Each structure stands twice: as structure tokens, then as C-alpha cells.
């Protein structure tokens, strides 16, 4: 990699942030290109051909690109020889750990000083380390712990009967027991019994906790036939 004037691409859907970053990097002598994002971006992987055509030394990547997850770009871009630096508004350390596992060289918060980004670019351009093995391992452990937790929650959710799954899905929509009973043409007592069973199987004590657990596990109610 060149010792100065690195070829950098920015993938970020916050125009003001990206433009400011581009100006700062160009003042440091880097060649910078912002990757254009379509208005309706649903899969970050669709940006990969554009990124690879530019052949960047370094990619500065936001994780939240509209409806798309920027993390999908990390592994293929890294394989192509680009150093990936994630600059994100997310404070989820497990998510940071996933980025490191995919091959990101560094994860920086958008709330940090601009000089942190500039210093990271300098160090990478000079072939120096930007994340210690200990820092990387700690972040990856956050991701591993989160993955184990989600797996355990999904196992609890798998205990639900089809009817209980449907009731939980309606609770996630914000419906009350009375609404569910009316919609399902059963008594409120029946629905309350079903809710009680859901709470027991999910090992929680309230409907709100059950809904939160389902969201955290990324669970979706089965579609009604």
C-alpha cells in the first residue's frame, strides 16, 4: 500500500458526514471517491461491483445503509485486498465483533473525533497495526456471546405450538388479549391460557418481555395459511 495518497472509497448514506470526511481526507492528500447509493437500497452486496471497480486501498464503511446492512460488503472487499474501516453510529459491540470476524481492520464510532479516522487511515497506509489482537478478540467474544444468547432464545421460541406462535405474533403487532380473542373467535379465557403457556415456555413473566425476546431473537410469526 502507498505510504501516502491512499485510494479511499466511502460507503455511507449520510451525505453531510460523507462529504465532510471526503474533504478532510483529500486535504491529507488522499484520492477519495464516495460510492453512490440508490434511493432504495435493500442489499449492500449490490454495491460490491462499483467498489471493486474503483480498486480502493481502504474502504470507509457505514453499517446502516438505509434498509441494507453494510457488513455484507466487508468479507468480499477484504478478500479483494482492500482494508476495511467501519465508521458507524451503532454502539452494539456484538455487531462490531461480527465486523472484525468478517475481516474489518478497525471499527470506529461516528461520535468519535475526526482525527481518529484520519490517524487510522495514516497507520493503515504506513502498514501499521490499527487494532490489537486483544481488542479484536474481545469484540469477537461479544459477537459470540450474542450469537449463543440468540440461539438459546430461538430454542425457547421453537417450543411454542403453532397456535401459541400465532398468538405471540399478534402480541408483537400490539394487539391485546381481547382483540386476539375476537380475531380468533375464541374466548378471552382461552387466549389468556395460551399467553400463560407462552410466558412459561419463553421463561419470561410478562407479555412485554415475551415480545422483546422475540424481537431480540429476530423471530417472525408464521404466516397464516
**Can you give the CATH number for the domain in which 89 is found?**
3.40.50.2300
Domain assignment of residue 224, yes or no: no
pLDDT string in tens for the chain (225-residue length): 444 689 999 999 999 999 999 999 999 999 999 998 888 788 888 999 999 999 999 999 999 998 899 999 999 999 999 999 999 999 999 999 999 999 999 999 999 999 999 999 999 999 999 999 999 999 999 999 999 999 999 999 999 999 999 999 999 999 999 999 999 999 999 999 999 999 999 999 999 999 999 999 999 888 754
- 203 in the same domain as 107: no
Domain for residue 188, yes or no? yes
Q: Which residue, 110, 145, 180, sits at the end of a domain?
A: 145
Residues 127 and 205 in one domain: no
Residue 89 confidence (pLDDT): 94
| DSSP letter, residue 171 | H
Both 89 and 169 in a single domain? Answer: no
At residue 224, the pLDDT reads 59
- The DSSP line for 71-113 is GGGHHHHHHTTPEEEEEES---HHHHHHHHHHT-SEEEETTS-
Q: What is the pLDDT at residue 1?
A: 45
* Number of domain units in the chain: 2
Residue 45: the pLDDT is 87
In a domain, 167, yes or no: yes
Coil vs helix vs strand at 60:
strand
Handedness of CA 165, 171, 176, 182 (dihedral sign): negative
Looking at the fold, whether 44 and 137 belong to one and the same domain comes out as yes
Give me the pLDDT at residue 216, please.
Answer: 92
CATH number, domain of 176, equals 1.10.10.10
CA distance 104 to 77: 10
Domain end (from 118, 145, 172): 145
> Within a 10 A sphere around the Cβ of 65, how many other Cβ atoms?
24
211 touches 172 (CB < 8 A): yes
183 lies in which domain range? 158-216
- Residue 26 located in a structural domain: yes
Are 17 and 86 members of one domain?
yes
Amino acid at each position: 500500500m502507498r505510504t501516502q495518497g491512499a485510494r479511499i472509497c466511502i460507503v455511507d448514506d449520510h451525505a453531510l458526514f460523507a462529504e465532510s470526511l471526503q474533504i478532510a481526507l483529500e486535504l491529507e492528500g488522499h484520492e477519495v471517491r464516495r460510492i453512490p447509493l440508490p434511493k432504495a437500497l435493500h442489499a449492500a452486496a449490490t454495491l460490491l461491483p462499483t467498489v471493486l471497480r474503483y480498486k480502493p486501498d481502504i474502504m470507509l464503511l457505514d453499517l446502516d445503509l438505509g434498509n441494507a446492512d453494510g457488513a455484507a460488503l466487508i468479507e468480499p472487499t477484504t478478500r479483494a485486498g482492500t482494508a476495511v474501516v467501519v465508521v458507524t453510529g451503532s454502539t452494539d459491540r456484538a455487531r462490531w465483533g461480527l465486523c472484525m470476524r468478517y475481516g474489518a481492520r478497525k471499527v470506529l464510532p461516528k461520535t468519535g473525533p475526526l482525527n481518529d479516522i484520519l490517524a487510522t487511515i495514516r497507520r493503515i497506509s504506513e502498514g501499521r497495526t490499527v487494532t490489537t489482537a486483544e481488542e479484536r478478540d474481545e469484540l469477537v467474544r461479544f459477537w459470540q456471546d450474542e450469537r449463543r444468547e440468540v440461539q438459546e432464545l430461538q430454542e425457547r421460541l421453537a417450543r411454542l405450538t403453532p397456535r401459541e406462535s400465532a398468538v405471540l405474533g399478534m402480541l408483537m403487532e400490539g394487539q391485546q388479549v381481547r382483540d386476539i380473542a375476537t380475531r380468533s373467535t375464541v374466548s378471552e379465557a382461552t387466549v389468556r391460557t395460551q399467553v400463560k403457556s407462552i410466558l412459561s415456555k419463553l421463561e419470561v413473566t410478562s407479555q412485554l418481555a415475551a415480545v422483546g425476546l422475540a424481537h431480540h431473537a429476530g423471530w417472525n410469526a408464521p404466516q397464516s395459511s
